[in-house]
Amino acid sequence: MIFKDKTLIKTNSAKLKAGQKQELDVAFYLRRAFKDHSQVFVFNDMKFEHNGETAQIDHLIVYIYGFILIESKSITGEVAINQHQEWSRSYRGQWQGMPSPIKQVELQLALLKSLVRDNASQLLPKMFGKLQQNFGGREWHSICAISSNAIINRENTPKTLEERLVKSEFIADKLLDIMKLPTSRPNALHFISTNTRPWFSEESLARICQFLLEQNITPATQLKPDLVTSSLNEESPVYLNKTATIAPTSIASVAKDQACAINEVNLLCKHCSSKTTLKARSGRYGYFVTCEECKTNTPMKMPCPRCTSTNTKVSKRKESYSLICGDCENTALFKFD
For the ranges 67-71, 131-135, 230-234, 308-312, the maximum mean pLDDT occurs at 67-71
According to the model, what pLDDT value does residue 111 have? 97
Give residue 250's pLDDT band: very low, low, confident or very high (50, 70, 90): low
Same domain, 136 and 253: no
Same domain, 245 and 123: no
Give residue 212's pLDDT band: very low, low, confident or very high (50, 70, 90): very high
Query: Whole domain around residue 277: which residue ranges?
Result: 219-335
Indicate the length of the chain as a whole number: 337
- pLDDT > 70? residue 169: yes
Same domain, 199 and 229: no
Same domain, 181 and 290: no
Q: What is the pLDDT of residues 81-117, one digit of tens each?
A: 999 999 999 988 889 999 999 999 999 999 999 999 9
Domain stop point among 163, 196, 215: 215
Same domain, 157 and 262: no
Report field, pTM of the whole predicted structure over 0.85: no
Structural domains in the chain (count): 2
**Helix-helix angle 202-215:251-263, to 10 degrees:** 30
- pLDDT > 60? residue 238: no
* Cα 151 to Cα 66: distance, rounded to the nearest angstrom: 30
- pLDDT > 90? residue 69: yes
Same domain, 15 and 132: yes
Over 172-183, what HEC string results?
HHHHHHHHCCCC
According to the model, what pLDDT value does residue 14 have? 83
Same domain, 317 and 170: no
The distance from CA 140 to its chain's CA centroid, rounded to whole angstroms, is 18
Mean pLDDT across 295-310: 81
Relative to beta strand 53-63, strand 66-73 is antiparallel
According to the model, what pLDDT value does residue 246 have? 40
According to the model, what pLDDT value does residue 262 have? 58
Domain stop point among 181, 215, 249: 215
